[in-house]
Structures are given as structure tokens and as C-alpha cells.
Amino acid sequence: MTGSILIVTEDEKLLDDLLRLCAAAGAEAEVAHGAPPVQGRWENAPLVLVGDDRADALSRSARAPVRRPGVLLIGRDLDDPGVWRRGVGIGAEHVVLLPDGESWLTGRIADAAEGVGRQALTVGVMGGRGGAGASTLACALALTAARAGHRTMLIDGDPLGGGLDILLGGERAEGLRWPAFADSRGRVGGAALEESLPRLHGLRLLSWDRGESAAVPPEAVRAVLGAARRRGGVVVVDLPRRLDETVAEVLAQLDLGLLVVPAELRAVAATQRVASRAGLVLRDLRAVVRGPFGAGLDGEEIARLLGLRLAGEMPSEAGLPTAVEAGRPPGADTRGPLARFCSEFWARALPEGGGARPAGGRGSVAA
């Protein structure tokens, strides 16, 4: 459904409040006065806000509108038990009482205006130790998802890292960087966020600029990541190994975390500390073991030592540093082992991938 939010009320004060909330959510509004709305307006609006003053008249009218999803009854009297009966009478999904419900209602209006459906599958990538290859994997995952036709956003969550824009060859690309969102609070529009970011290799990138690192508070990270997720598709976040309040905010919003660990005993020891801290916040954390493999180690054994499920064994790719220096980002070679690894991961992780999920193994991905 497309079009303006439909408001049905004769209460001028309530109307003023609802128009204000629509404006705050960046949504256009249409007001229906008097009789039930004209046929088509009720059915096609992305969201219908019915004032409690009109609920009984609508439910009793000989031309009562059809039942449909996305109808909210808006009232003010917290002590009126009849409001719930009137909500049932018009088939409302929710009864919202102002002013307490203003924040929730603003978000619901914005979701409807943006056409929000299924939220993005959000994957975070962390290194078990320095140089583990987390940024390389994050870029390759995002590039592979975009190449497959998924709406994709790659977010650089490490202000002290080398910069994902450099890995993608887009340090001079036009668009906003993290410092522009440092003061964000409440709700950020998903469409506005997407359109403001640099577009590289078919994906949107939120990275850091070349100036001094600006601290982005957890509230801003929450707002920006929430906006990115509402756009659907895929969101990949490259995360630092340290766990502070801002990183914890990201971890809490992830669907899946991938912890990259080289197949070395010292790397496993370092990764155990990272895994123990991240696991306190992240619901689903899995190991990606990076080759080459030696000393009798394999992915299953390393994942067992870490107490994590194995998400897959990431093979080494000859010539990758040279390719990056030449402006070809990780995963750009569709026939390379890294791109194949990422394609297999998304085939199992994304809802449309279907099929059974393997338990893991060299060259495979368990999602």
C-alpha cells in the first residue's frame, strides 16, 4: 500500500497532535472528516489513525469501512475501559493512548511511511586478534550480497581502524560519514540514511572520515543502526575487538556475530578473551576460522576450543593484498575462494537461501 497516512477524527486538538507526529516521522497525512472515508482512501492508506471520537460512528455506520490491517485507535483517557471495546469494534490492531504512546506511534507512522517489511539480516564481524581479517571478511560479505541483488549496507564500527572506504576504493566518494550522525537521537529515517551515504560497488557504506576520530555515543549508534535495519536486505558491521558501551549497543542489535580467528594456537588464546566478552551481549556468536591450516588444527577443533559453533572455514586467497592495492576490494573476484565462501554463507543465512544447513567443515559454511 502506498500514499498518505489517513487520519479520521473531528477532535481538533487530537488532529493537531497527530499531524505533528506525522510531520516528525516525515510522513504525509490526509484527513477524513465527517462520514466514513471515501472508498479507496481507507483501503489504500499505509496506516489509518482513527480518533476515539469517531470509533463508534464508524463501527455503526451503514457504510462502515472494511476490516484491514494497519488501523490504530487513538485516544487520551487512560481511565476509560470502553476504549478497548471501541478498538475491537473497528478492527484496530492497537489502541494508542496519548501522550504516553507518542514515541511508539511516531515510530509506527515512520515505519508505514517507509514501507517497512522484514528487517535486514544484520551480521557483525570481529577479529579474534589484530590482523585476523575481520575487515576483509566484512567487505567481502557486503560486496557479495550486493552483487547477488540484495539491498546492502556496510557499516564501519571501528573508528581506529584503517577505514573500510579505503578497502573499497571509495575514500573520495561523496556522501556522509559517521561524524555527521554523532548527534543523532531518537529516530533516523531509513530512506534518508541510505540516500545520504556513499554508494560503492552496489552497496551503501557508512565509514569514518580522515579527520580525528569522533566519539559516537551509543544513542546515535542505536538510531543509525535501527534505521539501517528497517530498510531490509543485509547490514554488515565491521567491529573492533574492544568491548565498550557503543560496541555493546551494536552487538545487542545483531542477528549473528562472526568471530574471525586464524588457525594458530596463539590466535585461539587471544580469541577466547574476545569471545567471552562479546558472548555476554551477543545472542549468536560463531567462529570463522581462517586458513592456512597447520599443526593438526582444523575449524571444528578450533571452534570447540572456543566454545562456539563453526560458521565456516575461510580459505586464504593468493594475491589479495596486491588486488586491494590495485583498487579491487575483497570479494571482487567472483571465482576466488573468498567470494565463494561468502556466496555459500549468504545462501544459507538469508531466508530465501533455503535448503539444509550443514554442520560446517572445510570450505563450507554453517549459518
Each residue's pLDDT, cut to its tens digit, for the chain (367 residues) gives: 457 999 999 999 999 999 999 998 888 999 997 666 767 788 889 999 999 999 999 888 867 778 888 999 999 988 898 999 999 999 999 999 999 999 889 888 987 887 766 789 999 999 999 888 999 999 999 999 999 999 999 999 988 887 899 999 888 899 999 999 988 876 777 888 899 999 999 999 999 987 766 678 999 998 899 889 988 899 999 999 988 999 999 999 999 999 999 999 899 999 999 999 999 999 899 999 998 876 678 899 999 999 999 999 998 888 888 888 888 999 999 999 999 999 999 999 987 543 333 333 334 444 5
Q: What domains does the chain contain, in order, with CATH numbers?
A: 5-115 (3.40.50.2300), 121-349 (3.40.50.300)
Inter-CA distances, 207 with 153, 190, 332, Å:
11, 17, 19
- Give the pairing type, strands 199-200 and 203-206: antiparallel
Among candidates 273, 306, 303, 276, which has minimal Cα distance to 364? 303
pTM: 0.73
**CA of 270: how far to CAs of 15, 118, 301, in Å?**
59, 36, 16
Q: In what order do the strands lie in the sheet with 5-8?
A: 29-32, 5-8, 48-51, 71-75, 94-97
CA neighbor of 345 nearest in space, from 358, 336, 333, 335: 358
Distance CA 135, CA 167 (A): 8
CB of 152 closer than 8 Å to CB of 190: no
The answer to whether the beta carbons of residues 6 and 48 sit under 8 Å apart is yes
